[in-house]
Amino acid sequence: MPLVETELCGRVMTITLADEERRNSLSRQLTGELVAALDIADHDPGVRVVVLTNKGSVFCAGADLAERTSAVPGIDVDPRALFGRFHRSPKPYVGRIAGHCVAGGMGLAAALDISVAVDHARFGFTEVRIGVAPAMISVVCLPKMRPADARAAFLRGHRFSANEAVRMGLINSAVPVGRLDEEVDAVVGDLLAGGPDAIAATKQLAAVVPGLPEEEAFEWTAALSARLFAGDEAREGITAYLEKRPASWVP
């Protein structure tokens, strides 16, 4: 049985983690299917926004510990193909976190561009409590967190509220379960209103600029801005604004 489900509605692809029995843990099968679904989303020109969500009460419980301790051979997915891919993709990824999120699941939530969670969900970097460390996911979590928050959360291994995850910068908002779809739909609507090239360029900004010296950053962003203003998408967007009509890419 497939552990990851996909659905395309309009220009939005929804990818659902559907291994409720194992709390959507990152088994080889689930991770492989998830990476395959992400590949489809990234390369399908009809997809403009991707929503990642879950079935059951757990968004993702992290590594499949039973599988990790078994003697059955298997091929692990390169973490760069999963956690590291979201900021490289030109398309925006939205997390619809409809359940608890711990360990490797924290890496998924933090790696997404925008994440909305139900306010009753619990979060946590629980790795130290089983004798390991939040190693690979630290690459995507640490840039979003204050050093003091990261050090405390990583070392304590405790679980904390969705609102605390918002405060730490790991996710963007926490809402009552009855408002989850409304909040996600609002985010998706905003993303569809932006030009696809502009969205891709904006993701580049967020990924590249923080690592550049100031002078180099100004040079790089000036060149990017000039390229965008000279493009067909900008011409259409500015014309639509002046004519007080939606741009051609708006559904």
Catalytic residues: 127
The Cα–Cα gap between 152 and 72 comes to 35
CB proximity list for 89: less than 8 A, separation 6 or greater: 38, 42, 203
Q: Residue 114, SS3?
A: strand
The Cα–Cα gap between 27 and 62 comes to 9
C-beta of residue 60 within 8 angstroms of C-beta of residue 108: yes
The Cα–Cα gap between 87 and 97 comes to 19
Of 61, 80, 181, 49, nearest in space to 121 by CA? 61
